[in-house]
Chains A and B, each alone.
Chain A
Amino acid sequence: MFGSINTSMILAILPEIMLFILAGFVFVFDLVWDDSQRRNLGWISAGGFSLIIMISLMLGTPGSDSGLVWGGMLRHDWLGFAFKMLFLFGATITALFAMDVEDLGKKGEFYLLLIFSTLGMTLMASSSNLIMLYLSIEATSLPLYILAGFFKDDDKSTEAGFKYFLFGAMASAIMLYGFSLLYGFSGTTDLDAIAGVIKAGGMNPVLLVGTLLMILVGFGFKISAVPFHFWAPDVYEGAPTVVAGFLSTASKAAGFTVLIRVLLTSYAPASDTWMMVLAIISTLTMTLGNTLALAQKNIKRLLAYSSIAHAGYILIGVVAISELGITGSIFYIIVYLITNLAAFGIVSVVGRITGSDEISAYDGLSRRSPWLGLAMLVVFLSLAGMPPFGGFIVKVLVLASAVKAKLFWLAFVGILNSIIGLYYYLIVLKHVYLYRSENEQVEIPVTRPYAIGLIVLTIGIILLGVVISPWFNVSTIAAKVLF
């Protein structure tokens, strides 16, 4: 029981409160405005998200004590805070990219669901209780199911929404069963108290591994790790491109936050047990993602498999179980979010004009729109892990952490996979720069919201790779919370 509400509690959920107010604004303006003005809801949402980031950075930064608030439901610490800002950034860009999408940019429901999903993610990042954790995961997923199936008249989108919903419901049911067993045998829903029970040997090792595996099903679904990745290619292909971008970045990042937090607090005393499981998942995820990406003809499916592979790289840092490893993982998630948002943004711009998501539609893109071609070059080289872009430095960090933890084989697998990845990323760039197409004279117009978003993201990718220290420091501060 916490008695009355005080300032520190309000500050801990400042972003959430402001998100709720923003939702109210969108709600009202959607009602007041007519169809010609509703596109501006995108500006309101994007502006609101960035305003929330600024206000939170000014007022809501966590103190050094990183205490529990709201009766132990939330932990206001840097790990949660850094990720909250990241999700809000992802939502800003997604709102910008959505504005000019037909049948979607002028709908208040889209922005409303986007805001609620972001609200769920921000709570996921700081949950420190199983009940809160489960509710926030559901609050994140439910809007995303609807968003994936947003184009009701399009069979592929409907299929994507339905597939995502069925897979998600199944995964979260298994995860919830894991949570209930964990609660039943430890007698508490508090993540730290569970760690205490496990440390004291209060849980049967078989049960411990059982609950761990069940919970990993839920988290593995969120981060699309093998063998829970089957939904990703179909859903990314069918869902509206902006939604696919949001799914593959912010939603995945949110999955990683809870994975990192639960494994490194509750299951920290049993780290030997899950390390091996996670190392195997990481190897499979990288290898399967990269090899299947080789055969793809559709750019959204290619990006889906590439995003599966990246989940594998991020897991390397988690497996290392060290401050360096977690720092690397967090930094990787930041870079990955920015890079992949840009990738899906470009796909959305091109898809609007050409009406196709096949890789062959990208023939001669550099002649049709040189700036878009350049952005594509930066994004894909960063995904492939080329210096001087962000993707290079983070790969170095996670691989270094694996080497430092004496997991040489894992580092080796990671390097081999990077080489495979390089191949298919370069194939796409070959289409963009070397191939010619007959409609080279047809320009690809980039509207203002897309231009703003893509410029910010492209500069971000370069900055992340060149000016390393501020991002590295933030990741280190966030990782220190767990050790």
Chain B
Amino acid sequence: MTTELILFFSLALIAIITGLGLLISKNAIYAALYLVLNFFTIAIFYLLLGGAFIAMAQVSVYAGAIMVLFLFVIMILGAEKLGKSNTVAWQRPVAIILSIILLIEAGYVLFWRTAPVQAAQTLPDGFGGPASIGNVLLNNYLLPFEITSVLLLVAMIGAIVLTHKQKTDKEV
């Protein structure tokens, strides 16, 4: 139990530090790399909770594919150096008020809720594992799964249709 607690708190510290680094760093590449670290720590949280599949998905999809895309975009745009951000005048006070409300809410839940948190029903063995997810996905949810592929195809066609530059007669 104690090793788990130590692991949890050290990971939580890393997650918060990388999150802050992401917000504060002035260089977009550094910010993106902080985000990668953050994703990795969260993936380990999932592992601690016994969600092997979702941890792997987190690493391969977020930390892998999406972050590579981010870095490419930053590189192509040449936007490493973040310019002076132009904020709207009322943005800062509103943000401060909202974050105070959020803090109060979190504090309320932490300190004033006396009833212990009820455990949800005990999960069956292998819940959330690759086998059970695959089983559900290709049985009950087969049709939605297939429709998702149609959705992605439409998104792809749409991106091409809307961004493809028409050749003029001279260029042909």
Q: Show the binding face of A for B, using Cβ within 8 Å.
A: 1-2, 13, 20, 70-74, 109, 112-113, 116, 119-120, 123, 129, 131-132, 135-136, 138-139, 142-143, 145-146, 149-150, 152-153, 161
With A135-B148, A146-B158, A152-B162 as contacts: A116 and B153 at CB distance below 8 Å: yes
Pair A2/B143 contact, Cβ less than 8 Å: no
With A149-B162, A150-B161 as contacts: A119 and B150 at CB distance below 8 Å: yes
Pair B154/A113 contact, Cβ less than 8 Å: yes
CB neighbours of B147 from chain A (8 A): 120, 123, 132, 135-136, 139
CB neighbours of A138 from chain B (8 A): 151
Beta-carbon nearest neighbor of A13 in chain B: B143
Q: Tell me which residues from 66 to 114 in chain B have a Cβ below 8 Å from any Cβ of chain A.
A: none
Question: In the bound complex, how far is the Cα of B17 from the Cα of A29, in angstroms?
Answer: 55
Which of B143, B153, B162 has the largest count of A CB atoms less than 10 A from its CB?
A: B143
Question: Is B142 an interface residue, CB under 8 A from the partner?
Answer: yes
How distant is A341 from chain B, measured CB to nearest CB, in Å?
Answer: 23
CB neighbours of A123 from chain B (8 A): 147
Which of B150, B160, B161 has the largest count of A CB atoms less than 10 A from its CB?
A: B150
CB neighbours of B142 from chain A (8 A): 70-71
CB neighbours of B140 from chain A (8 A): 1-2, 71-73
The 3 closest A-B pairs by CB, nearest first: A71-B140, A146-B158, A70-B143
Q: Interface SS of chain A: helix, strand, loop or mixed? A: helix
Pair A132/B144 contact, Cβ less than 8 Å: yes
Given contacts A116-B154, A139-B154, list 16 more A-B pairs with CB under 8 A.
A1-B135, A1-B139, A2-B139, A13-B143, A109-B160, A113-B158, A132-B144, A132-B147, A135-B148, A138-B151, A139-B147, A142-B151, A142-B155, A149-B162, A150-B161, A152-B166
Question: In the bound complex, how far is the Cα of B142 from the Cα of A13, in angstroms?
Answer: 13
Question: Is B141 an interface residue, CB under 8 A from the partner?
Answer: yes
CB neighbours of A139 from chain B (8 A): 147, 150-151, 154
* Interchain residue pairs with CB less than 8 A apart (15): A2-B140, A20-B150, A70-B142, A71-B142, A71-B143, A73-B143, A73-B144, A112-B157, A113-B154, A132-B147, A139-B150, A139-B151, A139-B154, A146-B161, A150-B161
CB neighbours of B141 from chain A (8 A): 71, 73, 131
With A71-B139, A135-B144, A136-B147 as contacts: A109 and B161 at CB distance below 8 Å: yes
How distant is B139 from chain A, measured CB to nearest CB, in Å?
Answer: 5
Q: Show the binding face of B for A, using Cβ within 8 Å.
A: 135, 139-144, 147-148, 150-151, 153-155, 157-158, 160-162, 166
Which of B142, B147, B151, B154 has the largest count of A CB atoms less than 10 A from its CB?
A: B154
CB neighbours of B160 from chain A (8 A): 109
Question: In the bound complex, how far is the Cα of B127 from the Cα of A127, in angstroms?
Answer: 27
CB neighbours of B157 from chain A (8 A): 109, 112-113, 146
CB neighbours of A143 from chain B (8 A): 154, 158
With A109-B161, A149-B162, A152-B162 as contacts: A116 and B144 at CB distance below 8 Å: no
Pair A132/B143 contact, Cβ less than 8 Å: yes
Contact of A131 among B144, B150, B153, B161 (CB under 8 A): B144
Question: In the bound complex, how far is the Cα of B143 from the Cα of A123, in angstroms?
Answer: 10
Pair B150/A116 contact, Cβ less than 8 Å: yes
How distant is A2 from chain B, measured CB to nearest CB, in Å?
Answer: 6
CB neighbours of A113 from chain B (8 A): 154, 157-158, 161
CB neighbours of A150 from chain B (8 A): 161
How distant is A209 from chain B, measured CB to nearest CB, in Å?
Answer: 23
Question: In the bound complex, how far is the Cα of B150 from the Cα of A123, in angstroms?
Answer: 12
Pair A146/B151 contact, Cβ less than 8 Å: no
Pair B143/A74 contact, Cβ less than 8 Å: yes
CB neighbours of A116 from chain B (8 A): 150, 153-154
Question: In the bound complex, how far is the Cα of B143 from the Cα of A73, in angstroms?
Answer: 7
Question: In the bound complex, how far is the Cα of B139 from the Cα of A146, in angstroms?
Answer: 32
How distant is A342 from chain B, measured CB to nearest CB, in Å?
Answer: 28
CB neighbours of B154 from chain A (8 A): 113, 116, 139, 142-143, 146
Question: In the bound complex, how far is the Cα of B147 from the Cα of A112, in angstroms?
Answer: 15
Question: In the bound complex, how far is the Cα of B150 from the Cα of A143, in angstroms?
Answer: 11
CB neighbours of A136 from chain B (8 A): 147
Beta-carbon nearest neighbor of A3 in chain B: B139
Beta-carbon nearest neighbor of B135 in chain A: A1
How distant is A339 from chain B, measured CB to nearest CB, in Å?
Answer: 29
Question: In the bound complex, how far is the Cα of B151 from the Cα of A139, in angstroms?
Answer: 6
Question: In the bound complex, how far is the Cα of B143 from the Cα of A74, in angstroms?
Answer: 9
Pair A145/B139 contact, Cβ less than 8 Å: no
How distant is A95 from chain B, measured CB to nearest CB, in Å?
Answer: 17
CB neighbours of B161 from chain A (8 A): 109, 113, 146, 150
Question: In the bound complex, how far is the Cα of B157 from the Cα of A109, in angstroms?
Answer: 7
